[in-house]
Structure 1
Amino acid sequence: MTGTPASPGPETTAKPLVAGFIYPDHAAEDDYPLAEKLLGGDVALPVEHIYGTDLHAVAELLDLGSPARLAEGAALLAPHNPAAVVWACTSGSFVYGWDGAAEQVAKLSAAAGGLPASSTSFAFVRAAAALGLRKVAVAASYPDDVSTLFVEFLGRGGVEVLSMSAADIDTAAEVGELSPDAVVELIVSRDHPEADAVLVPDTAMRTLSLIDTVEQRLGKPVLTANQVTVWEGLRLAGATPRVQGLGALFHQEGA
């Protein structure tokens, strides 16, 4: 007996790729909806906030990146059903050192139910490797002692820092208030002639709308904190689209 063919069901719309981000306090989180817009409708980049002091000082940064705070962030992200989660804070991850930052990420993954997890500090190392960068200049907004810890972290990841400048800005809120012209000048003025790229390690700094401008000025790649964080989240979630407007990192083959 031949049955009647089933009628086709309703047309389904592909769900967007979701990478979730835990962002400390408030400063430059509007970089994430900007990235989402540039990446198109196939990507969702939800951001949830955790709160602590925004002081760029070691003890305060260790508290900000503590397992309890990141577990709180993972719980806030859970309703978004992300495919991966990233701690969107550079100083609150590299301040733990390489091994401590790896343990931080492992605990975040566990708190997120086993999802792939990472942090902005590891995102810098992996983005540099993806672009084949070996020698870099660092344009840091932090005080010198905190900036030095980032240099040490990069060294553990195989990235040599030829020059590092610290703008000595005490809080993330102050960084978030920098004008676009001030951000461009901070980055361009910290270049080194032999550096393969300039790294800008503060997620409190609005940079996504400026990356192409700065790369054109310098004639080399620029990696910024929110840029590499978005890239890392998408990489862990399963895709890194090639798009215009987010710098050389999003132009590479395989992205």
Structure 2
Amino acid sequence: MTALGFLYPGHSAEDDYPRMEQLLGSDIRLQVVHTDIGEDAHRVDALLEMGAPARLAAGVEELRLTGAEAVVWACTSGSFVYGWEGAHDQVRALARAAGLPASSTSFAFVHAVREVGAARVAVAATYPEDVAGHFAAFLSAAGISVVSSRGSGIITAAEVGTWGRDEVLALAREGDHPEAQALLLPDTALHTAAYVQELEGELGKPVLTANQVTAWEALRLASRRVNAPTLGALFTRQPVVQAPTD
């Protein structure tokens, strides 16, 4: 059995993880440990505090007891807001505290974009525009071309967690761009695990979502590859056929 650990801030869309666990197979366990979210706000100062080393380290002991082989900080905004170098420092500190291979959702997006072979991406974010801009800058620092970035102005993870299928599909449609080879939906507070395949079918391109790439990143750290078509192109060996552009 492969046990994978996730430090998840607060309570919003953590039920995506048992859903993904069912889709990945009986020998994989996705163990979620909740961290103290502090102030629930998609605001730079609050996000820096949410991802502070002490908050992450507080969940490490419980995570160790799960027998996890790797750990991922399951938060996009609470990692990219530190910038490219700062996010590396955050992950290194987590790896030292846990004594395990570690990563974060922001780096998961970078690795997933490369995995699906996308050079140009669009970002459809729940965040306010300034926070979405920090994510676009993080991707650009990784050498990924961001052809469009759209924020939705949602301040709290609690509100994002109430969004369902209709809101997620609308976010994807409005945030896609014809030049993008993949669409990215950051924010682990957003429920997406049930909709990835439908989103890709409608848009005709890989769709990468926060909880989906976080699970994939943990598997990557544990050197596991799993074929799970319901979780999209990232979890298959066959790329999604690109939709024709005008």
Provide TM-score, normalisation by structure 1. 0.92
CA distance in 1, matches of 2:28, 2:2: 5
Retained in 2: the 8 A contact 1:131–1:252? Answer: no
CA distance in 2, matches of 1:167, 1:240: 33
Q: Deviations over 1:180-200 (max 9, x none)?
A: 111111112211001001000
Retained in 2: the 8 A contact 1:28–1:205? Answer: yes
Please tell me the residue identity of whatever aligns with 1:90: T
CA distance in 1, matches of 2:105, 2:202: 25
Structural mapping, 1:237-252, within 5 Å: 237-252=222-237
Question: Structure 1 regions of 5+ residues with no counterpart?
Answer: 1-15
Aligned residue in 2 for 1:12:
none
Q: Name whichever of 83-92 and 235-244 sits farther off.
A: 235-244
Aligned residue in 1 for 2:127:
142
Compare CA radii of gyration and give the structure with the larger one.
1
Aligned residue in 1 for 2:91:
105
Matched positions, count = 237
Structural mapping, 1:49-88, within 5 Å: 49-51=34-36, 52-88=38-74
* Cα distance, 1:252 vs structure 2: 2.5
Q: Structure 1 runs of 4+ off > 3 angstroms? A: none
Q: Output the aligned Cα RMSD.
A: 0.8
Structural mapping, 1:9-48, within 5 Å: 16-48=1-33
Q: Deviations over 1:9-44 (max 9, x none)?
A: xxxxxxx10110000000000000000000111100
Q: Secondary structure at the match of 1:245?
A: helix
Q: Secondary structure at the match of 1:55?
A: coil
1:186 and 2:171 are equivalent in the alignment: yes
CA distance in 1, matches of 2:210, 2:62: 22
Aligned residue in 2 for 1:117:
102
CA distance in 1, matches of 2:95, 2:123: 29
CA distance in 2, matches of 1:250, 1:182: 24
1:157 and 2:142 are equivalent in the alignment: yes
* Cα distance, 1:179 vs structure 2: 2.0
- 1:217 corresponds to which of 202, 205, 212: 202
Q: Name whichever of 18-27 and 73-82 sits farther off.
A: 73-82
CA distance in 1, matches of 2:237, 2:113: 12
Q: Deviations over 1:80-128 (max 9, x none)?
A: 1111000000000000000000000000000002x10000000000000
CA distance in 1, matches of 2:98, 2:143: 29
* Cα distance, 1:158 vs structure 2: 1.2
Q: Deviations over 1:31-68 (max 9, x none)?
A: 00000000111100000001122210001100000000
